[in-house]
Amino acid sequence: MIRIRVLVFILLITPIFFGCEGEYSPKPKAYVRLNLPEHSYIVPDSTWSCPYIFEASRYSFLTVDKRHHQENCWYNIYYPKLKATIHLTYSELNNNLSRQIEENRKLAMKHVGKATAINESLIENKEAQVFGLIYEFKGETASDMQFFATDSLNHFLRGSLYFNVKQNKDSLGPAIDYVKNDMRHFIQSLRWTQRAD
């Protein structure tokens, strides 16, 4: 009986002494590899009746924002494979441009607490009368990019990018960059269908 116990004990501790030969090096963290398609864009179909038009990713879907379905021309550009949404909110200007810009700034600055940096860049397309500002957030923020665009007289459009997954910038990095490129294309292609020339 004692011999069996000694034999079992030896068999159990042998891997501890001989199982870790050589230097130990931990494996780095790994993330799911995303196979992102080439960027490709389409315009909304002929039933589109909003006072702005744009090109959106072919791999996204345009949906009505259910929380604000009574608002005119509030839409979501949804990426099902990436679980990302660009929320679009539109308002007509009524001598309230400075108030709209200030409200947009306040919404963007809600991310200051978690952001390690906020990069701002101007939107200026004189030919299309599209002007505005892009905010890009670095760090573990809920939103990665926001913008507003206006013609300064009639139209004000705001967009914000959110991912419906737990934020981890390391693993989401390629998806974030992919959708941010699509947002930049959206802004470059933005046109007002009702212009005040």
- Tokens for 178? 């992919």
Using 50, 70 and 90 to split pLDDT, how confident is the model at 187? very high
Res 114: pLDDT: 82
CATH class of 44-192: alpha beta
Q: Which residue has the tokens 């699509």?
A: 182
Per-residue pLDDT of 121-160, as tens digits, reads: 999 999 999 999 999 998 888 889 999 999 999 999 999 9
Bridge-based pairing of strands 191-192 and 52-53 is antiparallel
Percent of the chain with pLDDT over 90: 52
Cα–Cα distance for residue pair 102/109, rounded to 1 Å:
10
Length of the chain: 197
R_g of the chain, CA atoms, integer Å: 25
Three-class DSSP category at 116 = strand
Q: pLDDT digit string (tens) for 43-91? A: 988 788 899 999 999 999 998 877 766 667 899 999 999 999 999 999 9
What is d(CA 80, CA 92) in angstroms, rounded to the nearest whole number?
Answer: 30
pTM of the entire predicted model: 0.78
Domain boundaries, the chain: 44-192
pLDDT of 139 reads 85
- Cβ neighbours of residue 140 under 8 Å, at least 6 residues apart? 114, 167, 169
Please, are residues 148 and 132 in contact by the beta-carbon 8 Å criterion?
yes
CA distance to 8, 9, 27, per residue, from 17 (Å): 15, 13, 21
